[in-house]
Amino acid sequence: MTDLIHDLRAPVAEPGTGQVRTGTAVSRVDGRAKVTGDARYAAEHFAPDMLYGVVVSSTVAKGRIVTIDATEALALEGVVEVMSHLNRPKVRSFDISYKDMTAPAGSPFRPFYDDQVIYSGQPVALVLAETFEAARRGAALVRIHYHEEAHDTRMTANLDKAYKPRPLKAGYEPPPPEKGDAEKAWQAAPVRIESEFHHGVEHHNPLELFASTVIRDEDGHLTIYDKTQSSQNSRWYVSHVFGLSKNKVTVRNPYVGGAFGSGLRPQYQLTLAVMASLKMKRSVRVTLTRQQMFSFGHRPETVQYVKLAAEQDGTLRSIMHDAIAETSQIEDYVEVVVNWSGLLYACDNIKLGYKLVSVDQYTPIDMRAPGAAHGMHALEVAMDELAYKLKMDPLALRLKNYAERAPIEDKPFSSKELRACYSQGAEKFGWDQRPLEPRSMREGSELIGWGMATGVWDAMQMFARASAVMHVDGRLVVSSAATDIGTGTYTVMATIAAEAMGLPLERVTFQLGDSTLPVAPIEGGSSHVATVGSAVAGVCDKLRKTLLRYAQSAADSPFRDKRLKDVEFVDGALRLKKDPRTWISLASIVGATGRDQLEEKYLMLPNMLKQRKYRRLVHSAVFVEARVDEELGIVRITRVVSAIAAGRIMNTKTASSQIVGGVVWGISQALHEESHTDHRFGRFMNHNLSEYHVAVNADIHDIDVIFVEEDDRIVSRLGAKGVGEIGLVSVSAAVSNAIFHATGKRIRSTPITPDKVLMGGP
């Protein structure tokens, strides 16, 4: 080893040359692959003998399949099979209640289980053909006769049937017990408001269609490219449903073209593609149409009731928040909708309630900021109403009731820089120039309003494994079965590893999206950086110790008696802090071992004993300018300032992109998005991108993102929290409040469409 230690007079590289640091703006390492088309998605993998599957969807919302006539379809050139419940292969667990890793309480939907139809759009047959075109045409030729039964998809007409859910869904917290006597305090307070809110169904609509490509090897091994937010969840699902050893199934999702929660659960095209591959003993791809993307999961329709009471000086005396949401007839899908009202403002009397109504629809599914997107909207619009009844500035009311500890459970916060969000956001926006009275600002034909709202979301950490391999050529490969749904996971994890090992980013590769890699949680809930990032930091720490140990192995090594604190990893080398001219390249350390590589593995487990002592949250303050043409009812959102407290920011570029995307979606939620059901048929009618309205470029103007300084070592060893969800939370409330400030009209349902603006409600 002695000859590998560089001469003391060797030239010294400047510290940090060619290296990256967390907390800076780093461009996506996967960006080139995506813009050049090198990145391949679930429906872009091929096999020579591949069959193409197209799903036939039910046209009734409830009933039974009487006959399936596939004669015309099978007569079509290229069509080889029409599969249904009548001829599917046997599966292991369809006779028991099967649950995937994110399943709520109940009995999950089982495609092709029997002749029963439980919702409109349910898959009832699969046409398999040598070409996609033949399969698509064949699907149109399958004739199905149903015995139709009465259905009911009207959630608001069945509020009297609401019930408390079975809270078995992972990550769900039922509303806590009442604090104080909220009703009594509300009745006794001098200033009170009472409001009802309605939020329609929303659908995720990621650009990449859901698809599963099953490539079958000669030995029967299945390599599946799936549109999913967890390769390991899909692999677990396939293994359990079909009774296959995990060694017989590999699931990959290296690139995901958006998901927003729609890929948390394995969707039915995965089940059907595997069924078809096992039946036909060939490779199979099943891709859903845009219309079929509306046939599984959505943000549920929700009705909320909020009652607030305060003293004349704005001190909150009572918070009551109840929500009723839809679910399916087979599962109790639950969200944390009302709990946020017990976490944000100091109050001695808080009462929260949450119930469900079952309808003949598919089970809802998590959608970006599930629960908080609706729950925080209601609370923050109600706070705005209370501020006006008090004749008090809305920001001043929030500061008056600022909570230093989590109100309903009396826990300290792991960190909370919400005051900084308020002050920095307000200063950037110019909030101090805002007149209190509505209809005070006008420019031309447009009324101008300024609104604000507070956002909150959980700062979660789960468990994960990671491996790190230092190769003899100086390359570092770090691996974990994480997912990148466009959030920047590739880039952030590579940056964490590069900084830890003192390597330029181009010498680091982060591997994800493969079920054979070290275990990682589902990519959801804004937890990946705090979880997988901490695992990456942990495994790099182990690798640093290993490299130092090997560098110490020679008797005359200048590193022999040195500890990790005495050395630094810079520019691909290990060197002494006090004598930077004494260094050795990491590649040389590996080479001296006689091996091609050195590998370490690490299991990251949250310190739950410590974490449970705190309430761990991310916060935001959103300020919005709305311009309203009162004659046409058209609303334009011309300025948004979003101030975020989310711990240490690992990559300011990708994090800012996440917040901007969340703000865009919040504007879309407030003004555009809703799936409309024709209850005569129990069917979503605007199930396409031409009629399901989303915000487009012309709807978006100036968006400023501020990250306030925060460092939370309780949530993660990195000090990081998460930014995926918080960018969306309460944007719609701030938009609604700005519209009220502009027009004096309080609209309590979303989306706030021109007709509601013209009518002044509801």
pLDDT digits (tens, 9 = 90+) for 57-66: 999 999 999 9
Residue range 325-336, pLDDT digits in tens: 999 999 999 999
Contacts of 3 by beta carbon, 8 Å cutoff, 6+ apart: none
pLDDT at 660 over 80: yes
In the sheet that 302-310 helps form, which strands lie side by side, from edge to edge?
Answer: 350-358, 316-327, 302-310, 191-199, 749-750
Instruction: Give catalytic residues, as residue numbers.
Output: 725
> Whole-number mean pLDDT of the chain?
95
What is the CA 581 to chain-centroid distance, rounded? Answer: 47
Residue range 169-224, pLDDT digits in tens: 667 889 999 999 999 999 999 999 999 999 999 999 999 999 999 999 999 999 99
Q: State residue 515 phi and psi, 5-degree precision.
A: -70, -15
- pLDDT, mean of residues 745-761: 94
Structure confidence at residue 674 as a pLDDT band (50, 70, 90):
very high
Beta bridge partners, 216, equal 222
Q: Identify the pLDDT of residue 95.
A: 55
Domains of the chain, start order: 2-34+462-605 (3.30.365.10), 43-150+205-294 (3.90.1170.50), 404-460+609-762 (3.30.365.10)
Q: Identify the pLDDT of residue 94.
A: 65
Q: Identify the pLDDT of residue 91.
A: 84
Structure confidence at residue 762 as a pLDDT band (50, 70, 90):
confident
Decide which of 97 and 367 is more confident: 367
Residue range 75-87, pLDDT digits in tens: 999 999 999 999 9
Number of Cβ within 10 Å of residue 198's Cβ equals: 16
Nearest to 530, CA basis, from 648, 428, 451: 648
- pLDDT, mean of residues 376-383: 98
- Return d(Cα 375, Cα 373) in angstroms, integer: 6
- Return d(Cα 182, Cα 317) in angstroms, integer: 8
pLDDT at 16 over 80: no
Contact status, residue 327 vs residue 165, Cβ threshold 8 Å? yes
pLDDT at 368 over 60: yes
Structure confidence at residue 20 as a pLDDT band (50, 70, 90):
confident
pLDDT at 249 over 70: yes
Buried residues in 232-268 as b, exposed as e (16+ CB within 10 A): bbbbbbbbbbbebeeeebbbbbbbbbebbbbbbbbbb
In the chain, how long is the greatest CA-to-CA distance? 88
Q: State residue 466 phi and psi, 5-degree precision.
A: -150, 150
Contacts of 634 by beta carbon, 8 Å cutoff, 6+ apart: 628, 754, 757
Q: Identify the pLDDT of residue 8.
A: 28
Can you list the alpha helix ranges (DSSP code H) found in 552-621?
586-592, 608-611
Contact status, residue 491 vs residue 30, Cβ threshold 8 Å? yes
- pLDDT, mean of residues 126-148: 98
Q: Identify the pLDDT of residue 555.
A: 75
Cα-Cα-Cα-Cα dihedral sign, residues 471, 473, 478, 479: negative
pLDDT at 2 over 70: no
- Return d(Cα 337, Cα 162) in angstroms, integer: 15
Question: Does a cis peptide bond (omega within 30 degrees of 0) precede residue 394?
Answer: no
Nearest to 529, CA basis, from 367, 651, 642, 621: 651
- pLDDT, mean of residues 461-486: 97
- Return d(Cα 622, Cα 383) in angstroms, integer: 14
The two tokens of residue 542 are 């182990």
Lowest mean pLDDT among 52-61, 89-98, 250-259, 335-344: 89-98
- pLDDT, mean of residues 714-738: 97
Lowest mean pLDDT among 221-225, 243-247, 707-711: 243-247
Lowest mean pLDDT among 435-449, 520-534, 553-567: 553-567
- Return d(Cα 194, Cα 85) in angstroms, integer: 51
Decide which of 95 and 255 is more confident: 255
Can you list the alpha helix ranges (DSSP code H) found in 452-533?
489-501, 528
What does each C-alpha distance from 266 to 211, 322, 403, 522, 724 come to in angstroms?
A: 11, 31, 40, 11, 21
Q: Identify the pLDDT of residue 173.
A: 87
Nearest-10 Cα torsion for 274, 276, 282, 285: -70
Q: Identify the pLDDT of residue 169.
A: 66
- Return d(Cα 639, Cα 734) in angstroms, integer: 11
Can you list the alpha helix ranges (DSSP code H) found in 568-673?
586-592, 608-611, 652-671
- Return d(Cα 147, Cα 65) in angstroms, integer: 6
What does each C-alpha distance from 227 to 48, 98, 216, 721 come to in angstroms?
A: 21, 20, 18, 26
The two tokens of residue 566 are 């005495």
- Return d(Cα 237, Cα 370) in angstroms, integer: 23
- pLDDT, mean of residues 579-608: 96
- Return d(Cα 574, Cα 594) in angstroms, integer: 18
Q: What does 292-332 look like in DSSP terms, one character per residue?
A: GGGSS--BPPEEEEEEEEE-TT--EEEEEEEEEEEE-SSEE
Lowest mean pLDDT among 163-167, 235-239, 647-651, 717-721: 163-167
Number of Cβ within 10 Å of residue 66's Cβ equals: 11
What is the three-class DSSP state of 84? coil
Q: What does 670-714 look like in DSSP terms, one character per residue?
A: HHT--B-EETTTTEES--STTTS----GGG--EEEEEE-----TT
- Return d(Cα 142, Cα 79) in angstroms, integer: 12
Q: State residue 287 phi and psi, 5-degree precision.
A: -120, 130
What proportion of the chain, given as a percentage, has pLDDT over 70?
A: 96
Beta bridge partners, 52, equal 129, 285
Q: Identify the pLDDT of residue 98.
A: 57
Structure confidence at residue 653 as a pLDDT band (50, 70, 90):
very high
The two tokens of residue 579 are 């004598």
Contact status, residue 758 vs residue 464, Cβ threshold 8 Å? no
Q: Identify the pLDDT of residue 599.
A: 98
**Phi/psi class of residue 462: alpha, beta or left (left: φ > 0; alpha: ψ in -120 to 50)?**
beta
- pLDDT, mean of residues 363-389: 98
Contacts of 94 by beta carbon, 8 Å cutoff, 6+ apart: 110, 113, 241
When computed from its CA atoms, the radius of gyration of the chain, rounded to whole angstroms, is 28
In terms of Cβ atoms closer than 10 Å to its own Cβ (0-12, 13-18, 19+), residue 7 is exposed
- pLDDT, mean of residues 379-393: 98
Number of Cβ within 10 Å of residue 71's Cβ equals: 10
- Return d(Cα 670, Cα 323) in angstroms, integer: 19
pLDDT at 15 over 50: no
Which residue type does 748 have? R
What proportion of the chain, given as a percentage, has pLDDT over 90?
A: 93
Q: Provide long-range contacts, Cβ within 8 A and 24+ apart, for 605-608.
A: 605/463, 606/461, 606/462, 606/463
